[in-house]
Structure 1
Amino acid sequence: MLVHGCKKDVVPDIPIEVYDPTPYILESPNGFPDLIIPEDNPMTVEGIELGRQLFYDPILSADNTQSCGSCHNPAFSFTDNGNRFSEGIDKIKGTRNSMPVMNIGWMTSLFWDGRSPSMEDQALEPVTNPIEMHQSWHEASIKLNGHPNYPDMFFDAFGIREIDSSLVAKAIAQFERTLISSDSKWDRYLRGEATLTQSESRGYEIFFTEKGDCFHCHSTILYTDNLFHNNGLDSIFTDIGLADFTKNPLDVGKFKTPSLRNITLTGPYMHDGRFNTLEEVIEFYSHDLVWSPTIDPLMKKVGQGGVNLTEQEKMNLLAFIKTLTDTTFTNNPDYSDPFNNESF
């Protein structure tokens, strides 16, 4: 009598996915303030790369034609290609000039009117804005969740495959925090690696004294005070700026001070792009200031039209301002569009 033993089928173990992101230490350049990273959005290599992909991917727009990078081109210090106003997917133009995405990890608020308190909050708005990408986050999430690569990338970055707007914003913010400009001629001068010309040195003196009166608002290594000012552009405002957000009439005509780093690349200038050149900007501050009830007290010479620089002083001031241009930043391959280099 033969007895045959029963052998059970062996079920292979299901591999357990391990969420093991690579921490990314973002060091502040010499002389810059410490960069505060949100506790709920720590920097990782995977999160930054995901954010870079999302920043340049038109999938976030309703018709798949426009990305964040469409209006924030690295060659223009992440502004809109020299355009006065940006145009959305429905061919509708906005009313404010595109601000640079540079050193914004140190910004205490974002947009010209300061309505976003953080980079994560700011990243949410363009997708649903009807004059920009014009897509609901519900539709964007469906497209991302159905994508062949993004669910895996989100797992690698956040340990979650179910993609929602919060995770998209966190990834984009991680990438944007890496967009640091700190290698202009002026930075190299401060490090003892370059010398200024006579004209640049004289422009420096104008900039940082009452002669030019630039330093009050464009102070610190960031070249912005992170505050809001009515700088004497108009006597009557069609765009009320900060007051549109705060609803405080004392804020009418106040706009966020932009950084002057890479300012040679970010024209046209002012919140509405009214000035095409830096020469026009300097002429405005020299002779064309306009009084209004909320004019900033720092515009001390508004009564005489401005600081009244001579033609030579204007040239020297411009020469110094040009030393703030950082082409290492604009040419950094880590900041470039990944879709220009690979299939995705």
Structure 2
Amino acid sequence: MRKKIAYIFFGFVLIILLAFVKKTLTPIYFDIPKGWPKPYYDFKNNPLTEEGFQLGRQLFYDPILSKDSTISCASCHLQATGFTHVDHALSHGIEGKIGNRNSLTLQNLAWSKNFMWDGAVNHLDVQPLAPITSLVEMDETLQNVVYKLQNSKKYKELFYNAFGTNKVTGQLTLKALSQFLVMLKTSNSKYDKVMRKEELFTDIEQKGYNLFKTNCASCHQEPLFSSDKFENNGLEIDTTLNDFGRIKYTQNPKDYLLFKVPTLRNIEFTYPYMHDGRFKTLTEVIKHYNLEFKTSKTLSKQLVKPMNLSDNERTELLAFLKTLTDKEFLFNSKYSFPK
């Protein structure tokens, strides 16, 4: 009898001890390239771990986030093209629905304060809510996403591994997605290697770089090649979309036709270009900035005059832009579909 009581006692003690054992996590160190600014993302509120990253990676590639389980984040954000789409001008959603904007790339998001073309989202942790709840994209609710994940044996295990609980919540789902998204860092293009004095530009690339600094760098600031601001770049309004930019979100007349300045990193592969995907090639983009713009009260001050580049100079500028390609990032298996 005493022996039985002893077994029960020790078993009870063991259960109590196990209840206080914390799940062992594998921390991830977020490396900031030398000379880069401090990220905006607050890692203290969402510490990076391998387990959280892998959960976010699974969610990113899983169509379970959409209403009919046909569209995933990766449907519009393909790794090999800088995490954007290339086969159509505007984003596509479930049931063949078509959105009204081109998808932005997902790169170096730790340094972004504003998300979406109009800046309607101001924090990475809630950014996925926009496509999840959009009627023309995933057309789902976070509540129903949580329900589906909670009823998945795989995801209950992944959430336990990442957060020490197999109870799925909307907050943890969004935090996991952020852990994957914030790690999509590209910083090893030829341009970066030249800046680190590991390589040299060719003559044509150097000339293109000089032209870039004179004509483009005021908006596309190094090393991120974006200002994270909003500008009117002199595009004609597409009368089928009637997209007036940031003003739709702010209702401020000063934001008429203002759109976010996108990064130029991996620009060689992130076509089509502009908020409505109207340009299919970089040659068309350069041609736009080389000619007269559509003038308006909100036209960017940096675009008062066109570039007026010669044919040779446009070729040189294009050569430089291609040095922003980071193939290590575009084909890194760490960011690819989980197997």
Q: What interval of TM-score do these two structures reach, taking the shorter chain for normalisation?
A: over 0.9
Q: Whole-Å Cα distance in 2 between the matches of residues 278 and 157 of structure 1?
A: 41
2:237 aligned with 1:232: no
Aligned position for 2:124: 119
Find 1:223's aligned residue among 212, 222, 225: 225
1:7 to partner: Cα distance: 5.9
Q: Whole-Å Cα distance in 2 between the matches of residues 251 and 20 of structure 1?
A: 48
1:27 to partner: Cα distance: 1.1
Deviations 1:215-252 (A, max 9, x none): 11001200001110001112788211111111101100
Say whether the 8 Å CA contact 1:235–1:292 is kept in structure 2: no
**Structure 2 length normalisation: TM-score?**
0.92
Unaligned runs of 5+ in 2: none
Identical-residue share of aligned pairs (%): 41
The structure richer in helix per residue is 2
**Structure 1 length normalisation: TM-score?**
0.91
Aligned position for 1:273: 277
Say whether the 8 Å CA contact 1:124–1:165 is kept in structure 2: no
Deviations 1:288-340 (A, max 9, x none): 41101211111121xxxx221111111011011111111110011110010xx
Aligned position for 1:153: 158
Say whether the 8 Å CA contact 1:235–1:290 is kept in structure 2: no
Deviations 1:263-297 (A, max 9, x none): 01110100001111000000000014110121111
* Counterpart residue identity of residue 109, structure 2: I
* Counterpart residue identity of residue 218, structure 2: H
Say whether the 8 Å CA contact 2:220–2:264 is kept in structure 1: yes
* Counterpart residue identity of residue 104, structure 1: L
Say whether the 8 Å CA contact 2:237–2:243 is kept in structure 1: no
* Counterpart residue identity of residue 248, structure 1: N
Q: Whole-Å Cα distance in 2 between the matches of residues 77 and 6 of structure 1?
A: 68
* Counterpart residue identity of residue 270, structure 2: T
1:20 to partner: Cα distance: 2.8
1:66 to partner: Cα distance: 1.3
Find 1:64's aligned residue among 69, 89, 102: 69
1:125 to partner: Cα distance: 2.0
Q: Whole-Å Cα distance in 1 between the matches of residues 72 and 2 of structure 2?
A: 61
Aligned position for 1:34: 38
Aligned position for 2:23: 19
Say whether the 8 Å CA contact 1:72–1:81 is kept in structure 2: no
Question: What is the RMSD computed on CA atoms of the aligned residues?
Answer: 1.7
Please identify, of 153-162 and 282-291, the stretch whose mean Cα deviation from structure 2 is larger. 153-162
1:164 to partner: Cα distance: 1.8
1:188 to partner: Cα distance: 0.9
Say whether the 8 Å CA contact 2:86–2:272 is kept in structure 1: no
Say whether the 8 Å CA contact 1:204–1:317 is kept in structure 2: yes
Unaligned runs of 5+ in 1: none
2:321 aligned with 1:321: yes
Say whether the 8 Å CA contact 1:185–1:325 is kept in structure 2: yes
Deviations 1:133-187 (A, max 9, x none): 1112222111100111211221222223221221111101111111010111111
Say whether the 8 Å CA contact 2:190–2:324 is kept in structure 1: yes
Say whether the 8 Å CA contact 1:236–1:292 is kept in structure 2: no
2:189 aligned with 1:184: yes
Q: How many residue pairs end up in the alignment?
A: 328
* Counterpart residue identity of residue 185, structure 1: K
Q: Whole-Å Cα distance in 2 between the matches of residues 67 and 190 of structure 1?
A: 36
Aligned position for 2:204: 199
2:334 aligned with 1:334: yes
Aligned position for 2:137: 132
1:31 to partner: Cα distance: 2.1
Aligned position for 1:290: 294
CA pair 20-198 structure 1, distance change in 2 beyond 3 A: same
Aligned position for 1:162: 167
Say whether the 8 Å CA contact 1:234–1:291 is kept in structure 2: no
* Counterpart residue identity of residue 49, structure 1: Q
